Amino acid sequence: MNSNLIFAATVAGLLLTVLIVWVLRKIRNRRTARPCEDDIEWWRGL
């Protein structure tokens, strides 16, 4: 396989994982936290 393809697939997988985690956290915290504060705390948590 081409190393560029492997790299692209790895990056896409990581981005997809981050997106899924972010969406799940948004749904879970929607009732308790304000969106902007939730985003700031989430990025700090990384």
Q: Does the pLDDT at position 3 exceed 90?
A: yes
Q: What is the reported pLDDT for 8?
A: 95
Kindly tell me the burial class for residue 42, based on how many C-beta atoms sit within 10 Å of its own C-beta (0-12, 13-18, 19 or more): middle
pLDDT reading at 34 higher than 90 = no
Question: Cβ distance 29 to 38 under 8 Å?
Answer: yes
The domain segmentation of the chain, as residue ranges, is: 3-45
C-alpha 20: how far from its chain's center? 6
Comparing 30 with 11, the larger pLDDT belongs to 11
Percentage, residues of the chain above pLDDT 70: 63
Contacts of 26 (CB under 8 A, 6+ apart): 35, 38
